[in-house]
Structures are given as C-alpha cells and as structure tokens.
A and B are shown apart, each in its own frame.
Chain A
Amino acid sequence: MSWEVVIGLEIHAQLKTNSKLFCHCSAAFGDTPNTNICPVCTAMPGVLPVLNKKVVDSAIKLGLATNCKINSINEFSRKNYFYPDSPKAYQISQFDKPICLAGYLNIMVNNELRRIDITRIHMEEDAGKLVHQGSDNISGATHSLVDLNRCSVPLLEIVSEPVIRSATEARLYMEKMRQIIRYLDIGDGNMEEGSLRCDANVSIRKRGDIKLGTKTEVKNLNSFKSVEKAINLEIDRQIDILEDGGTIIQETRHYNEATASTTSLRSKEEAHDYRYFPDPDLVPIVIDELWIETIRKELPELPEAIQKRFVNDYNLPTDHSVRLTSIKKLAEDFENAYKNRKNENITPLETANVALKYYDYFLSNNLDFSKSNHASFQIGGLTFLVNTSTVSSSTITSILPDIVNTNYDPIEYVKEKGLAQVSDTGELKSIIQDVIKENPGPAEEIKSGKMQTIGFMMGQIMQKTKGKANPGLANKMLKELLGIS
C-alpha cells in the first residue's frame, strides 16, 4: 500500500517587542515569577487592554514577506476558556478577520522547489506559565504555581494549508519561516527557548485519494529535530494502525523528546466551544494602502532575493549563496567585506569561502555570531591574507580562535605573531637544500620515481619553517632541486 502524507503546521512566533500586547509591562523573558506583571495582564477587575502598534506593524511585515494579502479591516475576538494560565479566562486573539490571508513560502526540497501555502497569520496574546509541584509531570503534581510574566506577550500564529508532504518538508518550511522572522527582526525564532513553537496536524491517505484522512494534532515540538522526528513517528503510527485495519481517532498527541514517543491527550468535547466574539474593549484596526506601503518600504531585502543577486552579480555557486544568506548578518558581512576588499583582484568566491569558514567556526563552537561586531572587517583581512598567499587557508582556521570576538586586524595579527608564509625563494632554497642533505635516502627515492615520499620531505620542510613555508612554492622548489620537474 502506498500512503500519502498530509501535514499542516500551526506556528507560534513570539514577537520581539519591548512591551506586552495590551499593557506596558516588559515582554522580556523573566525568571523570577510574577515580576513583569501589572493589573492589566493579571486581569484585575476593571482593567482594559490597549493594543501595541508595533505588533500590527510586525504582522504586516511578516504578511508581506510571506506573500499574504493584508486585511484592511481587523478585529480582535475573545476566545473563551478556563485555565489558570489565562487570567481573563479568555485569550484575545483574531477569529474571522485575521490580519494576513492567503500567502505562501517557497522551499527547496531535494533540489526541487516546493510552494507551501499559508492560510492565515493572526495576532494574539501568549498565556502565562504553570509550574507543577511535587512531580515532573502534571498528573503526579500535588499543586501548581501560576506565573504570569509571559502572559500577554505578543504572538503571531501562522497557519499553513495542509500541503506539506513529509516531515523533512515540515522542518524545512519551519526553518524558512524562522529565517524570514529573523531577517525581518520581528522575533528571535528560538525553538529551544520557546519563542518559536509549532503544532503539526498530521494525516495520511491512500495515494490518489482526494478525501483527507482523520488528522491528529502533535504538540510540544521544541526543536527542529523534534518537528521532524515527531511527525515521522506519527506517520508510522498512523500507517501501522491503518494497515492493521484500524481507524485513526481525531485527537491531540503530546510529543515526548526524551522517550521519542507521542501520547494521547484526551479532552472533553465541550472544551472546544470557545464562544468567540468581537472584543468590545478593543476597536477595529483599519489598515490602509499608505500604512502597507510604509511598511513595505521598511522591509529588508529577503534571503531569496539576496541569493539571486549573489549568483547573478558575484557569480557565486548557488550552494554558497544559500549558505551565505542563512542569516542576514552573514550575508551583509560577506558583502561588506567584498566591497571593501583590499586588493582589486580579490574575487567574490575567495571572500565567500573565507566568510563561510569564519561563520562555521561560530556554529561549531556554539558562539553567537550576532554579537560578532568585527566579522566583516576580519573576513576582509583574512581574505587579503589568503589572496596574497601570506597565509594558507589552513592557517586561517588555526588563528580564528584568537581573533574572533576581538577587534584584531588579522593582517596585523599575522605580522605580530610572525605567521606569514615563507615565500622568499632564497631563504626557502637554503632550507630545502638542508633538508635534502639531511635526508639522502628519501631524496634518492623521489629521484627514482617514488613520488609518495614527497609528502615526507614536505613535512620536514614544514617542521623547519614551523609551518610557515608557502606549500605550493616549497613543493615546486623541492622538485626543481631534485631535478624531477
């Protein structure tokens, strides 16, 4: 039996604002419970909400960046349900008039372009946090503590159409969404810290069927890895059930990263009657063309456009340009380094190679590239050193630990530490002659055609020069001196 997978994602992105959605409390992550609270976000009797304009601006930005239509008339509704992390016992959200509608994102899956349609994006407030006491999980707890620091922090909920066809596609779409959120600088997009969250609606059907299968909602996906893993688990689970002749129950399933399994969260039917109605405490938001155009002008260049430009203007391979645009700062640092190149003959590819090496160092050492203020300047300097054969590209890797997160000029640094390659032919010649004299046996081997021994001789030369010999030059001269070139 051939099964087709149908996935829709609901992404929650926390917005990077100073203050909360409806009050003036700080929206910052606070670890001491109930320190970023006020009468409004704790739902004291008599308080009223006032909308944070920056949230609307951010929603329009994301809408434009994801090819959505921006709704001109917007309304907030109340979603009514009782839970202690929701102090008003309703969440202020958008219901039938969301701010963005009908957009899409393109992603590359196995070198194939896939378009993921976006149903809607709407603004809403986050809930508070419950800390269960006496046990690690809710069922064993003796009681719970309510912390409202996070309550009413602004969120955008981004709902995709059920058009995602695999767990990998889901992860790639999610990664793309994060990339855009970060380019727009409207959110941190950090899944581990919960500023980017996702629920997946998963169903399967026989290939060729038009009708969708019964879906389940998988929650608690706290990393990109979990997104992929949990969806695959759920697909396998559903296939097993159907192939055994069973039926899928529509339910919510909780993913447990530690045990790599999902468990059912059954809830009573009545919990789903949210009794939405327009919030009478808030007034409609009317977004006109002028507002949209103002925001459009503020939009930064987005990764897809930059990639195209890098390929067209700089002749970079697609792979390079995709990697360079993975985050906005890297793309900018690369481009600035190239524009301010210290040698006319430095090529974009040389600069790109150094920039990627530089960025990889941050990634593999878990360093925060966003705080690397001298990256562009140092990438430029390092490219110059490579371009002029002052150092080898392997030397770059070895000096990065000393210079990143400092304001060292790499050129000065190499000079100070005496790391420049020995490219003086006279000096190199006498060193090579010494090595031949000290190693007559291997020298003879090379002369008689055993070329593998060149490696040994090069090692000796490097040892004598403390690694500073220009390897290409040394190799060439060694051969000349042995009369085999």
Chain B
Amino acid sequence: MYFHIYAIHSSYVKIFFVMITKETIKHLAVLSRLEFTEKQLDNFSHDLENIFNYAQMLNEVDTTGIIPSSHAMPLQNVFKEDRVIPYHNIEKIMANAPLEESHAFRVPKILAD
C-alpha cells in the first residue's frame, strides 16, 4: 500500500524504481505524529523517492548469510545490579512539564482513535 514497484531492469541484479506517493507520506506522517501541507507532502515524497532510488544500489550486494550489525562494536552481557538508588532531583524533572497537575504531567483529553 505504500508504493508501487516498477521493474525497469532485471538482468542479474534487481533494480527497481521506487515510487513514493503522497499517500505513503500521509501514512508515515500518522505513524510519526506529524502533519503536512500539500506542498510538504509533494516535497517529501519527491525527496524520499530520490533517496530510496539512490539506496537501490544496495540490491547489488549479495548479503546471503551475512549477520546484520545492530552495533558498531561487539559487546554482550552488560548489566546493572538490582539495587535502588533514589533520584533526588525529581522536582527538576517536573519543572520541565509544560502543564503539571497534582504532581503529574497533564495531557489533553484522549479521544478514542
């Protein structure tokens, strides 16, 4: 539902032309809690299209069996002990609240979505 793929070339490497529609951007906007004007929708769909078409070069790379890297450096088993260390500057956290009520962060009414 995001975009249409048109195969424009497929010898041994799959190269697709990625099309990012305004509908795609609208959908991503909802996921991102962002809203856009028509002009922005146009611009962003154009920008993303360029970027993803550039990134199509990744399809040239054979990554069969390659383990994905989520980290720059290998590390494992980093833990903290189960110990309570009370934080003493809670008021500094609360002081940043745009709207505070009864020592809680106040938010507008939640409409069922």
Contacts and interface: CB of A to CB of B under 8 A. Distances in A.
Direct contact of A and B (CB under 8 A): yes
B113 A268 contact: yes
Contacts of B113: 267-268, 271
Interface string A268-279: 101101010110
Nearest to A20: B84
Nearest to A27: B84
Interface in A273-328: 273, 275, 277-278, 280, 282-286
A482 interface: no
Given A19-B82, A84-B107, A283-B77, 19 more contacts: A24-B87, A25-B84, A26-B86, A33-B104, A34-B93, A34-B104, A39-B93, A50-B80, A53-B80, A138-B112, A145-B107, A146-B104, A266-B112, A267-B112, A270-B27, A273-B31, A280-B70, A284-B75, A286-B76
A53 B107 contact: no
A88 B44 CA distance: 25
A405 interface: no
Interface string B61-98: 00000000011000111111111111100100110000
A143 B106 contact: yes
Interface string A19-54: 100001110000011110111001010000011111
Contacts of A284: 75-77
A19 to B, nearest CB: 5
A84 B78 contact: no
A52 B82 CA distance: 6
Contact of B93 (A26, A42, A145, A278): A42
Nearest to B80: A50
With most chain A CB atoms within 10 A of its CB, the pick from B76, B80, B102, B103 is: B80
B84 A24 contact: yes
Contact of A146 (B71, B78, B90, B105): B105
B101 interface: yes
Contacts of B105: 34, 84, 145-146, 148
A130 B83 CA distance: 27
A26 B85 CA distance: 8
A142 B111 CA distance: 10
A82 interface: yes
A24 B71 contact: no
A264 B54 CA distance: 45
A141 interface: yes
Interface in A48-107: 50-56, 75, 82, 84
B51 to A, nearest CB: 18
13 contacts: A24-B85, A25-B86, A33-B102, A33-B104, A38-B93, A138-B110, A143-B106, A144-B107, A146-B107, A265-B112, A268-B113, A283-B71, A285-B77
A144 B93 contact: no
B110 to A, nearest CB: 6
Nearest to B75: A283
Contact of B81 (A53, A82, A267, A285): A53
B33 A283 contact: no
A34 B103 contact: yes
A137 B101 CA distance: 19
Contact of B104 (A44, A147, A273, A285): A147
Nearest to B72: A280
A353 interface: no
A54 B79 CA distance: 9
Contacts of A144: 106-110
A17 interface: yes
B109 A54 contact: no
Given A141-B109, A141-B110, A145-B104, A18 B83 contact: yes
Nearest to B92: A39
A311 B6 CA distance: 71
A31 to B, nearest CB: 11
A431 interface: no
Nearest to A148: B105
